[in-house]
Amino acid sequence: MADDMLKSTNLPQNPERATLEGRNKFMGFWFFLGGETVLFASLFGTFLALRNSTAEGPAANEVFGLELVFIMTMVLLTSSLTSVYAMYHMKNNDPKKMQLWLGITVALGFVFLGFEIYEFYHYVNHYEFGYSTSAFSSAFYTLVGFHGAHVAFGLVWIIGLMIRNAKRGVNLYNAPKFYIASLYWHFIDVVWVFIFTVVYLMGKVG
């Protein structure tokens, strides 16, 4: 690795794509996101096909409460914006502010995850809506739980990057890493937009 990759002065306009390694990461990650799209599509398709198969268990409009989903949506949308702020400060070569905004993003991610765990707990204990209650419940927990697992993985990823680069500035070596982690975080939000629309709102409408 060339030494000047680790220098933090005079970053180019797009430091995440200034090196071959950065461009490869960027390209490979979009390839991965294309695959993730199909993976989530198969879970969405399954959910849509099975959402009325309640097997005499609770139906969608009986269990779902829109208040919690609304708060979760706002939290995740805001965390998407805060990670954009982190990338803005990264491009301006301001590692302290970048770390701060990444920290806020992670905090919001934990809030989201906490609400989701509470939600599942509530469904299981108050509505007897368990994983094996019906085809609808299995499809629901698989789809939403898979998204939650993605959030958890993203949190570990971003925290790892923050700790590893805590005492480093922004340079051409770590800029692609931060950039790709933020792309992943936005993708999680993209999936959530469809989850709150297709699962919760359409479930409530019937």
Partner 1 sequence: MTDNTNSTNEKQQFYRKKHKEEMKHHVLTFAMMIAFTLIAFGLVLAEVSPMFTIPIIIVLAAVQVLFQLYYFMHMNQEGHEMPALMIYSGIFAAVLTVLALTTIVWW
Q: Which helix (H) or strand (E) is 152 found in, with range?
A: helix 135-164
Residue number with CB closer to partner 1 (162 or 199): 199
Smallest distance from the beta carbon of 177 to partner 1, in angstroms? 16
- Please report, for residues 25, 26, 61, the alpha-carbon distance to residue 87 in angstroms, rounded to integers and kept in the order given: 16, 14, 39
Would you tell me which residues interact with partner 1 (CB under 8 A)? 10-14, 17, 26-27, 30-31, 33-38, 40-42, 44-46, 48-50, 66, 70, 73-74, 77, 80-81, 84-85, 88, 91-92, 183, 186-187, 189-190, 193-194, 196-198, 201-202, 204-206
Smallest distance from the beta carbon of 138 to partner 1, in angstroms? 13
Residue number with CB closer to partner 1 (59 or 124): 59
Residue number with CB closer to partner 1 (42 or 132): 42
Smallest distance from the beta carbon of 203 to partner 1, in angstroms? 10
Q: Which helix (H) or strand (E) is 23 found in, with range?
A: helix 20-50
Residue number with CB closer to partner 1 (34 or 56): 34
What beta strand segments (E) does the chain contain? none
Residue number with CB closer to partner 1 (106 or 183): 183
Smallest distance from the beta carbon of 189 to partner 1, in angstroms? 6
Smallest distance from the beta carbon of 39 to partner 1, in angstroms? 9
Angle between helix axes 175-194 and 66-91 (nearest 10 degrees) is 160
Q: How far apart are CA 84 and CA 97, in angstroms?
A: 12
- What tokens appear for 69 in the block? 């989903």
Q: What does residue 169 show for φ and ψ, rounded to 5 degrees? A: -85, -175
Those residues whose C-beta lies under 8 Å from the C-beta of residue 141, and which sit 6 or more positions away, are: 120, 131
Smallest distance from the beta carbon of 84 to partner 1, in angstroms? 5
Residue number with CB closer to partner 1 (3 or 35): 35
